[in-house]
Chains A and B, each alone.
Chain A
Amino acid sequence: MSITLYLPKDTASLALGADRVAKALQRAAQARGLDLTLVRTGSRGMLWLEPLLEVETPEGRIAYGPVRPGDAESLLDAGLAQGGAHRLRIGRPEDYPYFARQQRLTFGRCGIVDPASVEAYRAHGGYRGLEAALAAGPAGTVEAVKASGLRGRGGAGFPTGIKWNTVLLAEARQKYVVCNADEGDSGTFADRMLMEGDPLTLIEGMTIAAVAVGATRGYIYCRSEYPHAFAALETAIAAAERAGCLGADVMGSGKAFHLEARLGAGAYICGEETSLLESLEGKRGIVRAKPPIPALKGLFGQPTLVNNVLSFAAVPWILEHGGPAYAAYGMGRSLGTLPIQLAGNVKRGGLIETAFGLTLREVIEDFGGGTASGRPLRAVQVGGPLGAYFPESLLDTPLDYEAFAAKKGLLGHGGIVVFDDTVDLARQARFAFEFCAAESCGKCTPCRIGAVRGMETIDKVIAGESPRENLALVTDLCEVMTDGSLCAMGGLTPVPVMSALTHFPEDFSGRGARLPLAAE
């Protein structure tokens, strides 16, 4: 008898023991004389259920999780092949409330397909976007992206179609397409999940971009903290080349696109696009002054389209279904879907791809189920280490670029980190400066020196040394950093600091470490 099972091998599932589960299943199957095929996929993104094991049945995939190695025998006893009853059975993932409430456009295949297989990718609708783009031609492709309302998912929210048009209109012998896969913000993992679970969507998106803007070379700059994502990219690129979807003649179109994955080296600043380009050129990741913008003078001085993983990955769906279909999701000027990453001290963390407009409260309470510790929520940081700390009273803010800006926060890459009432916001503010000091490229003074002085001054506040005067200094320093820094690193470090000061002044009273409210 034979049985095919699906088990993720993305980094989060591995971190929770997926390989040990795989071994246990293989051992148990062998002992029973079962012919087991284990397809390793990406994650569905319901991380508290990982490792999530799935089996194909006539009703669709049936899932079980979280599976421990010790569950292998009882799962097989329960008639796993037929989707039999078991205490870990959650049914069809698509019917599971956490998943059913989402709109999976970008992540539609993630967790379902074998990420290394072009065949599986095509069987699930892959490469229809590129076919549409080849039929539409460069101007038609750029028009579709414009009509979708897609804005850069890396955090800045710049209209993607306008950037594409700039590179399309630039004249040069060599143009480049570069993917910023330096996902360094804490609380974000959507890029990693996509690169590990469905890298061909990113590759197809980049290929569409290259054909549209007239670029023949592309790079994916992947951070070194993601060794498994990098390996998945290399495997998928090689598979796409073998299938004729990359290389000298992309899908018989006569257009060339050569794509290569490059590994970063542990510098957060290389997530800033000009620093990333310097790094790709083989230099220190020092930020460049703009203008000139990379779209006109980017990699090796050539016109370069730089987009985030999720921006490129949204494009195949847009080309397949049309710009207006994508723009039908969302609110205000934030159109389409946002892959939200719910993390930190939360019961049900994971990836939630949904149209813009859900409130923070809906995400944290309805999806997340509150804090993992069971203690009251006290603060939420949205948008990575340069994002604001919001108190409970701001949880009704909708996930929308403009709504967040209005509350002096930023949506960034869509990462939400939940903290319970044991958090000390003075420590978090100190950490924001410490992180900036460690990761500043050093080019401009407000960032390089400001971060160090900021950390020292917060230390004085924490020690109770003239807190009022020192906080006035911190506020002034934050103003200088905001106005005087060259890039977002120094320019946005004041966001977490000032939001902590504004919303949680009681933590900066200088009476030493804040004790948890309830000491029971």
Chain B
Amino acid sequence: MSGRDLGRVSAHESWDAERAAGIIAGHAHREGATLPILHALQETFGYVDAAAVPLIAEALNLSRAEVHGCLTFYHDFRKEPAGRHTVKLCRAEACQAVGADALHDEVLRHYDVAWHGTTRDGQVTVEPVFCLGLCACGPAALVDGEPVGRLDLDALADALTERAA
């Protein structure tokens, strides 16, 4: 990790209801617009703020319960911001077959985090994922959306350094 405090620098905008309403309006005309809206909000703000639920419900003529239900059903949507970098580690069988379980224990220990947790310096959030389609070059991970194959601790550190640059 670099000595600079990068944790405060976010790639995302901070929550803004007016901005959110604009994003929602941009997608509201689409068939089955809930998921595209949730994705767009998360892309902008890094998570989906609870305050977005009534805005979406209003725009799509749904109940708040329906929107909340959708938001909480899918693993992708965050209720709070993640760390500066997100590491998704594949826990599925093909990666297990090449030692992913032991590697994951090592990663969690090394970065001192639990699954879904963020390092204390706010740099790295570690999440499980079930299959990235990299089953012939595992263990596999996505680091800020970029794939890494034949992962080990060093390769992960390199990928994080590359992303931070």
Contacts and interface: CB of A to CB of B under 8 A. Distances in A.
Interface in A183-201: 183-189, 191-193
B66 A283 contact: yes
A285 B31 CA distance: 16
A373 B98 CA distance: 8
B135 A188 contact: yes
Given A47-B137, A225-B129, A344 B147 contact: no
Contacts of A373: 98
Size bracket, chain A contacts: 35 or more
Given A186-B92, A187-B93, A385-B92, A226 B130 contact: no
B93 A265 contact: no
Contact of A14 (B31, B39, B135, B146): B146
Contact of B134 (A12, A227, A415, A417): A12
A310 B142 CA distance: 25
> Which secondary structure dominates where chain B touches chain A?
loop
B70 A185 contact: no
B132 A11 contact: yes
B97 A225 contact: no
B94 A343 contact: yes
Contacts of B95: 186
B74 A15 contact: no
Nearest to B130: A268
Contacts of A15: 134, 137, 140, 147-150
A113 B20 CA distance: 40
A224 interface: yes
B93 A385 contact: yes
Contact of A186 (B34, B35, B94, B150): B94
A431 interface: yes
A267 B75 contact: yes
A126 interface: no
Given A15-B149, A186-B94, A282-B34, A225 B133 contact: yes
Given A345-B97, A423-B97, A263 B35 contact: yes
Interface string A173-185: 0000000000111
B132 A16 contact: no
Contacts of A428: 93, 96
Nearest to B31: A300
Given A262-B36, A417-B94, A423-B97, A342 B147 contact: no
A430 to B, nearest CB: 12
B133 A419 contact: no
A99 interface: no
Interface string B67-79: 0011001111100
Contacts of B31: 280-281, 300
Question: Which of A184, A282, A428 counts the most B-chain CB atoms under 10 A from its CB?
Answer: A282
A332 to B, nearest CB: 27
B133 A192 contact: yes
Given A15-B140, A186-B92, A415 B135 contact: yes
A279 B35 contact: yes
B32 A12 contact: no
A510 B133 CA distance: 34
B3 interface: no
A381 B93 contact: yes
Given A189-B136, A349-B137, 13 more contacts: A47-B136, A47-B137, A186-B130, A187-B93, A187-B94, A191-B133, A263-B35, A265-B76, A266-B75, A344-B135, A345-B98, A385-B130, A423-B97
